[in-house]
Structure formats: structure tokens, C-alpha cells
Amino acid sequence: MVWIGLKIVILIALSRLLLNNNKPLLCAGIYTGIISLVRIAFLLLGLITIKLSFGMLCFAVFISSVFTFGLASLYFWLLDRFEDSLFLYQIILIIGLIILAFF
């Protein structure tokens, strides 16, 4: 639960940053970087116990980072695109938070 809460806080902070700078790829890159670093830290600390080699685990983190960047890019681009429409902005914000928090 703490991990999901942390993701939601990061996403809300980055959506506020997006309102100031209008650069969705920057926000997606920051989000992906933070999430990837935490995943790598979990691997190095041994909190994820999967019976695979270290190379396979790093490859899995890389693949999940690519998907995370793609979803985050779409999410922040949609937020940037519909910034003027308050109703659509809030709908995209809520649906995106749910999708990205559980991915």
C-alpha cells in the first residue's frame, strides 16, 4: 500500500509540474526514472525474491521501464492536451492515477 501511495504522490506532483512547464515527456521521464530506481533498489536489497539470474532481473526492470515510460508519456500528454477542459482533465487525472499506480 505504501508503494501505491508513493506513486500517487509522485504522479500528482508531476501533474502540477506539467501545468507549469507543458513538457509531458520530461514528466514521464522523471516518473519512469524514479520508479526504475526504486525497482532496482528492491532488486539490490533482495526484497524481490525471484529465482532468476541478475541479468534476467535487470532485463525485466528494463522492459517494465519501457512500458512505464510509454504509459506515463500517454498520460502526461493527455493531461497537457486537455489542460483547458477542467472536466476532461480531472477524468484523465483520476483514471491515469488508478492505471499507473497499480502498474
pLDDT value of residue 60: 82
93 band by pLDDT with thresholds 50, 70 and 90 = very high
pLDDT value of residue 96: 92
pLDDT value of residue 103: 79
pLDDT value of residue 49: 63
pTM as predicted: 0.88
Tens digit of pLDDT for each residue in 3-59? 889 999 999 999 999 999 999 999 999 999 999 998 888 777 775 566 667 777 778
Do residues 101 and 7 lie in contact, with contact meaning Cβ atoms separated by under 8 Å? Answer: yes
CA distances from 47 to 26, 44, 102 (A): 29, 8, 18
